[in-house]
Amino acid sequence: MSGVTSLRPDLKLIADWIAPRSDVLDLGCGDGTLLAWLAANKQITGFGVERDVEQVVRCVEKGLNVIQSDMEYGLSQFEDGRFDEVVLSLTIQAMHNIEGILQEMLRVGRSGIVTFPNFGFWENRWQILTGRMPVSETIPYEWYNTPNIHFCTVNDFDKLLAKLGMRIDEQIVLHQGEKVEFLPNLLGSLALVRFSRT
């Protein structure tokens, strides 16, 4: 299994929030990198949910439990309160029903972790000012081929959680893997939020 150093900085921060031996659900788990690391280093048990069959194969190769499924149809296969942590990493901006998935995350889990590209990052704002749609490290697509349909800033996401009666327990904003403490909504390109029911 992969060592501590091989985990991407944003995934490492997610991993830091997850307690040893937790029950973890990783939505849009991709090739299972995070789950495999957590299983090896924090003895978690868990499931991945992934739509793409090639990625499902990668997860099975790693010996993970993975359910091939499209989260847009909800998480009805999971019972209420089944998990300690539900992770949705760099996927929410490509989903249709944002409120629905956030509600579902806290239905099946005690705590949710969402990471997303911060549209409020200054480079994005600058590109808009110069009359172009932003293309950057965390938003690497052109407007015509992007899978992303719901962009938001750090502040927007916080407001949505409040509207849904959810509480922010932890929040970190990153740029190029480094934490941004000063003006995070302007200087950070990637946001990580951990939240629960108020």
Partner 1 sequence: MTDPRSVGIVTAQKAVFDQPITLSSGATLPRYELMYETYGTLNADASNAILICHALSGHHHVAGKYAETDKAAGWWDNMVGPGKPIDTDRFFVIGLNNLGGCHGSTGPSSINPETGKPYGSTFPLVLVRDWVETQARLADRLGIKQFAAVIGGSLGGMQAMRWAISHPERVRHCLVIASAPKLTAQNIAFNDVARQAILTDPEFHGGDYYEHGVVPKRGLRLARMLGHITYLSDDGMGEKFGRELKSGEYKYGFDVEFQIESYLRYQGDKFSGMFDANTYLLMTKALDYFDPGRHFGGDLVAALKTTLAKFLVVSFTSDWRFSPERSREIVKALLDARRPVSYAEIESRHGHDAFLMDDEPYFGVMRAYLNNIAKEIAA
Contacts to partner 1 by CB under 8 A: 47, 53-54, 56-57, 59-61, 63-69, 76-79, 82
The residue (of 45 and 136) whose beta carbon lies closer to partner 1 is 45
The residue (of 50 and 158) whose beta carbon lies closer to partner 1 is 50
The residue (of 16 and 79) whose beta carbon lies closer to partner 1 is 79
Q: How far is CA 141 from CA 67, 137, 165, in A?
A: 28, 9, 33
Q: H or E stretch including 39?
A: helix 33-42
Q: How far is the CB of 101 from partner 1 (least distance, A)?
A: 18
Contact call for residues 24 and 15 (beta carbons, < 8 A)? no
Q: How far is the CB of 107 from partner 1 (least distance, A)?
A: 14
Q: How far is the CB of 69 from partner 1 (least distance, A)?
A: 7
CA 27 to CA 114: how far, in whole Å? 10
The residue (of 37 and 47) whose beta carbon lies closer to partner 1 is 47
- The torsion defined by the Cα of 27, 7, 3 and 5, in degrees rounded to 10, comes to -160
